[in-house]
Each structure stands twice: as C-alpha cells, then as structure tokens.
Amino acid sequence: MTITTPALLFPAISLLLLAYTNRFLVLAQLIRQLKQMDTEEDHALIARQIGMLRKRITLTKRMQASGVLSFFVCTVSMFLIFLGHGTAGAVAFGGSLILLSISLLFSLYEIVISTNAINVELESFEARKQVGK
C-alpha cells in the first residue's frame, strides 16, 4: 500500500463532514422554529417532533464523531506509511474505513428518522386540512 491509497479518502471524508454540519444546522433551525410555533393546538405535534429531533441530534453527533475519527485515523495511516510501517498503516487504514462505515450507518438511520418526521408533519397538515373542510 502506498501513501496515496489513504489520501484518496481525504476529499470524501471532508465532503461528508460538510454534509453532516449542514444537517446539524438544519436541525438547529428546526428546533428554533418549533419554539416559535409553541401554541396549545400544536403541543401534540411538537411533542412527537421533539423526540425525533433528540434522536437526530444524537445521531448527528455520532455521525460527526465517527467521521472525524475516521479522518484522524486515515491521517495516522498515512503517517505510518510515510514512516515505513506499511502493515501498521494498512491496519490503521482499515480502521479508518470501519469508522467511515459506522458514520454512514448513523447517517442512514438519521435519514430514516428524518423521513418519519416529515410524515408527522404531513399527517398534521392533512388533519388540519380535513378540519378546515
């Protein structure tokens, strides 16, 4: 293995971390919007959304942590290869790939929860539309 093999992950991990940061910012914005719409009639909807938002925040934190650790271990891998420790570098690179995979699995789970949250919003919208008829 050469130093360029783990170096190939650098742009991918960087873009992934940027996407995770954007997700976190969207979650923060959603929480602020929920705070503004806190009325008696919206309590049930808000209660359902809060549970999902808490899970999504936890998952986003884990996604980011796994991604950052993957980036760090990938850097360690490159450093070990640079020092001539090819086997240790390959093991570190494998660890980096595992951490990246874990990060992606957290991301997938967060997407599922996000989709459920959108369905809750749609149900609420449909219920209001039914009442308005």
Give 18-48 pLDDT, tens digit per residue: 999 888 888 888 888 777 776 666 677 777 7
Q: Total structural domains in the chain?
A: 1
Model pLDDT for residues 55-86, shown as the tens digit of each residue: 999 999 999 999 999 999 999 999 999 999 99
Model pLDDT for residues 106-122, shown as the tens digit of each residue: 999 999 998 888 887 78
Alpha helical stretches, state H, 1-133: 4-7, 9-36, 43-82, 86-132
Whether the pLDDT of residue 99 is over 60: the answer is yes
Residue span of the structural domain in which 95 resides: 4-132
Whether the pLDDT of residue 4 is over 90: the answer is no
